[in-house]
Amino acid sequence: MEYRKILLDGYPILCERQGDKLVTRDGRSVGIDEAVHLPPVEPTKIICVHLNYHSRVDEFMTKLPPAPTYFQKPVTALNTHNGDVVRPERCKWLNYEGEIAIVIGKHCRNISPDEAGDYIAGYSVANDYGLHDFRDTDAGSMLRVKGSDTLCPVGPGLVQGWDYHNKRIQTIVNGKVVQDGNTDDMEWDMHYLVADIARNITLVPGDVLLSGTPANSRPVQPGDLVEVEVEGLGRLSNRIVVGPTPIRDDVGAQPTESEEVISTAMGGDWEHRGKRAAGGQGAAFYESAVEGKADD
């Protein structure tokens, strides 16, 4: 069963998908392509796992931690299917990260992974965009990197009863597949992530957990059409646009283009930054100040 929230006659309405139509409880219908979509959920918090897919770990030439680590996006980052994703002026390192969103269905606290499925309302498609221009100042919290306005599109719908095992996830930019992964490549599955967070953080209906991205997150440019497709969940589409105003330069940390920023955006290794010259794909895009090679 798939539900979508749309704007119909000026009001937000929950609809059930029936083929290529969205049908309201009072019998009105609208074509999927004509519908103005809203986010299918209203979270009080959006929690994201850092590394989870082995392909991503291998790309960065690093190792997984013993247990998942997380960061949080503010709810003001929430965006929708067909919504514009804003890259602010004076910024250039905006990366896509195709992901699967876990949506909580009831109050959840101190449960086991085996119990977690009973607390999940369903799943959706997400794109965990990162504005790496702020990585030098916010690498710990990831607040502005991952939490800037519009950087968390979720949709197009909420799918119930979806089996997350062995499902393909792809990101497509302007018609070209740029990420291609499978949920079986995840170290920690959906139920584990929910149970882990719920040990000491109460999850409430509508809360969202983003479950990680496969390899090959890369920058996108204004005008690009970025789509994330997950087997059984649908396709989330967003257009990249330039923000109406530049990042202010009279207050706060400014966008940067350091080795850390470029290496992360372009897929360089993490483990040896500042210790020896980086390897991986991202290393080709900057000149490291560190002597030695990553394989020394």
Q: Which residues of 235-261 are buried (b: 16+ CB within 10 A; e: fewer)?
A: ebbbebeebeeebeeeeeeebeeebbb
User: What's the pTM?
Assistant: 0.93
Q: How high is the pLDDT of residue 62?
A: 86
Higher-confidence residue: 82 or 245?
82
Residue 44 has pLDDT above 60, yes or no: yes
**Phi then psi for 4, rounded to 5 degrees?**
-130, 150
In whole angstroms, what separates CA 39 from the centre of its chain? Answer: 14
Higher-confidence residue: 155 or 61?
155
Average pLDDT over residues 103-121: 98
Domains of the chain, start order: 1-38 (2.30.30.370), 40-244 (3.90.850.10), 257-296 (no CATH)
Average pLDDT over residues 140-144: 90
**For 284-294, what is each residue's pLDDT tens digit?**
665 666 555 44
Percent of the chain with pLDDT over 70: 91
